[in-house]
Amino acid sequence: MPELDQGFFTRDPVSCASELIGCHFRWRDCTVRIVETEAYDSRDDPACHTWFRPSARAFVEAQQAGDAYVYLNYGVHWLFNLLVKGPRRSGFVLLRAIEPLLGIERMRARRPGVPDHQLGAGPGKLTRALGIDGSTHGVTFLGSHECGITLGKSTTPICGTRIGISQATHLPWRFGDPNSPALSRKFT
DNA sequence: GCCAGGATGTTA
DNA sequence: AACATCCTGGCG
């Protein structure tokens, strides 16, 4: 399976978010299947961090396409994004849900008592299950001994509005595998 | 099953 | 003050 290269992330964030569904995501001792994502667009999307965080604008400027943008949400949960830098549009893809493929014992150990299909069924849950935290901020996911993303089986993703935001709530920039048991919420 | 509420810290 | 969340407990 081909490893995603920087070319994949030098397009528009919505295309990247859609096409990441079904891809295999490898981080240290775990490999998972991406089943839910959201796109955020730095240009004309008021929900994107670049809209209200100068530090996010600086990150887009300084970092490379395919780098991890990780931040703490509600003071509790780490949320994982991939930086997209297209010729016209930049932004982020938020990972919202994953299914375990390899290393499921490690994921269970990090989330004791949680059923397997729930281990990564949410953006805060998946970072906990994978052991991703603020120290992953800025790491490139273009492929290394430590991490990488490869193309997986492509199912046609379903699409809906994004979760948990108060701005630009109408944009249909949430994508998911319709057959996955690990989606964070129903699509609307 | 649904809903309300609280934890918690970083940014601005 | 807001926030790209999650878990618990109350109620049926």
CA angle A50, A53, A57 (to 5 degrees): 45
Cβ-based contacts with strand B at under 7 Å: A 52-56, 72-76
For A38-77, what is each residue's pLDDT tens digit? Answer: 999 999 999 999 999 999 999 999 999 999 999 999 999 9
What are the distances in angstroms from CA A30 to CA A26, A96, A120, A143?
Answer: 6, 17, 12, 14
For A84-133, what is each residue's pLDDT tens digit? Answer: 999 999 999 999 999 999 999 999 999 999 999 999 999 999 999 999 99
Q: What is the pLDDT of residue A154?
A: 77
Under 8 Å between Cβ of A30 and A106: yes
Residue A39 lies in a domain: yes
Residue A184 lies in a domain: no
Residue A185 lies in a domain: no
Q: What is the pLDDT of residue A1?
A: 79
Q: What is the pTM of this model?
A: 0.97
Residue A42 lies in a domain: yes
Residue range(s) defining the domain that contains residue A33: 6-176
Cβ-based contacts with strand C at under 7 Å: A 38, 40, 47-49, 56, 69, 73-77, 79, 81, 92, 94, 111, 114, 122-126, 162-167, 184
Residue A170 lies in a domain: yes
* Environment class of A115 (CB within 10 Å of its CB; exposed 0-12, middle 13-18, buried 19+): exposed
Domain with residue A76: its CATH number is 3.10.300.10
Indicate the number of domains in chain A.
1
